[in-house]
Amino acid sequence: MSPLQITFGLLAFIAITIVTSMVNTLVTLRNRFINAYAQIDEQLKRRYDLIPNMVETAKGYIKHDRETLEAVITARNDAATANISAAANPGDPSAMHVLASSEMTLGGALGRLFALLESYPDLKANDTMLRLMEDLASTDNKVAFFRDAFNDAVMAYNTKRKMFPRNVISVIFRFNLAESFSIENTEKRLAPKIPLS
């Protein structure tokens, strides 16, 4: 081998090492937010399990305002579907937008249900209902805290992939821009405040 060949070989080796390490960093960061979404997913599923139970309990008391209950169930089903596609592809912009908007619809529907509870004091004092509301409140809080972690992880990934020369690498190896999970609500909660003592 001539010295020229050796020099080229060395340069190629260095270049490959650098590119590999950049790709690896991006993979690590992507896995971090995918992992963070897995925790959101677990809490959201719990939330989607609690809501039908709550509606079932409420049905025993609420006779007139059935459409409020039905709206909650419809919104819950939409959100659950949106979560399935978001969980399959965390950070995907369209999936995250659909999930955020359906979660906001669900939050609104639940808000109307809680407002309705004021006219049904027996239901509001029902043990099962109280327990479900407490668990729902806690699940909402957990989603909110996990969402913070997810959004931080998404931001770390996006910042890294935007910077030169990683932006070139991201285009070649298809590290797409990730979308955070943001709910446009001043209270930063998925659901309106659940009336708990």
Partner 1 sequence: MGIFEHQDRARTRTTVLVAYFVISVVCIIAAVYIVSILIFYNAHANQPHGSLPPELVLWDPAIFLYAALGTLSVVIIGSLYKIAALAKGGSVVAESLGGRLLSPDTADPSERQLCNVIEEMAIASGMPVPRIYVLDDEPGINAFAAGHAPGDAAIGVTRGCMTLLNRDELQGIIGHEFSHIANGDMRLDLRIMGVLFGIVCLSVIGQVLLYSRGGRDRNPLFLLGLALIVIGSIGVFFGRLIQAAISRQREFLADASSVQFTRNPAGLSSALQKLGGTGSRVRSAHAGEASHMFFGNGMGKSFLGAALATHPPLAERIHAVDPSWDGKFHRGAITIDEAESSPGSEGHL
Chain residues binding partner 1 by CB under 8 A are 127, 130-131, 134-135, 137-138, 141-142, 145-146, 148-149, 188, 196-197
Of 110, 91, 130, 132, residue with least CA distance to 185: 110
Between residues 147 and 160, which has the closer beta carbon with respect to partner 1? 147
Nearest approach in angstroms of CB 132 to partner 1 is: 11
Nearest approach in angstroms of CB 141 to partner 1 is: 4
Nearest approach in angstroms of CB 91 to partner 1 is: 20
Burial call 171-194: b when 16+ CB within 10 Å, e when fewer? eeeebeebbbbebeeeeebbbbeb
Nearest approach in angstroms of CB 142 to partner 1 is: 6
Between residues 5 and 197, which has the closer beta carbon with respect to partner 1? 197
Between residues 88 and 196, which has the closer beta carbon with respect to partner 1? 196
Nearest approach in angstroms of CB 30 to partner 1 is: 20
For residue 61, count other CB atoms closer than 10 A to its CB. Answer: 16
Between residues 147 and 161, which has the closer beta carbon with respect to partner 1? 147
Rounded to whole angstroms, the Cα distance separating 105 from 111 reads: 10
Between residues 70 and 134, which has the closer beta carbon with respect to partner 1? 134
Helices and strands, number each (H, E), in the chain = 6, 0
Rounded to whole angstroms, the Cα distance separating 67 from 119 reads: 16
Rounded to whole angstroms, the Cα distance separating 118 from 96 reads: 34
